[in-house]
Structure 1
């Protein structure tokens, strides 16, 4: 038997995009609304997890158990959190000093592990890269499961260039630095055709949209994907001149993906 056959698999388990967005009085939607059955079944049989937040992971597993019974009771699930500094700085830089090898110890004993983030796909606009690097270094099989990725949903619906695009994370908070960054991204998008994708903390969405409308040229196309996969979902794409003439009423208190291009 080969060594790889004795090791566990690291599964990338996507979660619904409704984390923190549900009305407390509203019924929690079924996972089958956003995750295929195979993903739910795989999550149900796992008992070892690496996550951003243990509380929200347990809440996710409760929802999994409503569709497919958990192989291990919730109290028996082994859930470990990524270090707090990873939440703040991210772990995509291999030189940041974060070594996630210890988090994968159960896989060296043959246990499969799930990597999960608060919402969407771990490692995409979320922590998880250090865990994946460690998994590859240890020779583990890495298996991404199917589920929602807000960046791709927004890009697909935007009408912008889906053949060439870049996710640039968060823009600066300070107004002059943010304006400079917006103009840099616009110049790159107009010159190369590459769609620029970015996000913001929801309570700053309104301010970011205002900055975009003030800084961008009239013919630049701006698209917003708001509350994707939620009942309040709204997607709007138009040239900046059109945005200024008639700004749509969007629920910008929800997670939003911003895209600009030509």
Structure 2
């Protein structure tokens, strides 16, 4: 009997995104899969309904996981691969396992000798880096910055210093309703000469990706509230 595989499947950033952003070979692979591990079943059903014109999502089996899914439950789900069943790992948006709880699923698959197949698709982090003009040879991703104001200020100062000393691009994301607060802290606590890129709503109709020095950002009022943003900064001479 053939062993099933774990397919790591990128999804759209928004249900409003153009479905053609998902390559046809992903759709071909989706036709081999009837069982999925997801963050949110409703969002995953909507994504599959949008990109699959023939296959009905009503026939799919969904296993919902979160940040703290235990290994016993994951082992039980992934054991189906040893029965010849392919399983797809879907994130709510973008690439699973990157700023996403899916890494636990992939790790468990490796521990169970299940072949993992990552599929190519949209990643806001890498698209933002590509379009930023900042150092793409040396960069780090921080996920989310601290919520506490003092910790946030200290973190901003720390990563800016790192970027100055090593010309390393610093990348992070934020919960959409906190974007304006983070932007305010960045313009207040970064050096005027530090380059800051903000990539807003990548792949959507109102996409904006712009890089300029902090001194330039301070000259105008911006509203990033409830938008999907990736922030990148570099204070070095890249």
TM-score by length of 1: 0.85
Quote the Cα distance in structure 2 between the aligned partners of 1:178 and 1:147.
Answer: 31
SS in 2 for 1:177: helix
Question: How far did 1:9 drift?
Answer: 0.9
Structure 1: gaps spanning 5 or more residues: 23-28, 87-96
How many residues are matched? 234
Query: Which aligned runs of 4 or more in structure 1 are off by greater than 3 angstroms?
Result: 83-86, 249-252
Quote the Cα distance in structure 2 between the aligned partners of 1:149 and 1:157.
Answer: 12
1:200-219 to 2 correspondences below 5 Å? 200-219=174-193
Q: Which residue of 1 aligns with 2:114?
A: 140
1:111-260 to 2 correspondences below 5 Å? 111-247=85-221, 249=222, 251-260=224-233
Q: 1:7 aligns with which of 3, 9, 14?
A: 3
Q: Which residue of 2 aligns with 1:94?
A: none
Question: How far did 1:79 drift?
Answer: 0.7
Deviations 1:44-99 (A, max 9, x none): 33101001011111111111222xx22xx42221110114635xxxxxxxxxx645
TM-score by length of 2: 0.93
Q: Is the 8 A contact 1:30 1:63 kept in 2?
A: no
Q: Which residue of 2 aligns with 1:17?
A: 13
Q: Which residue of 1 aligns with 2:60?
A: 77
Q: Which residue of 1 aligns with 2:40?
A: 53
Quote the Cα distance in structure 1 between the aligned partners of 2:65 and 2:178.
Answer: 26
Question: How far did 1:105 drift?
Answer: 2.1
Q: Which residue of 2 aligns with 1:90?
A: none
Quote the Cα distance in structure 1 between the aligned partners of 2:103 and 2:24.
Answer: 26
Q: Which residue of 1 aligns with 2:19?
A: 31
Quote the Cα distance in structure 1 between the aligned partners of 2:195 and 2:35.
Answer: 44
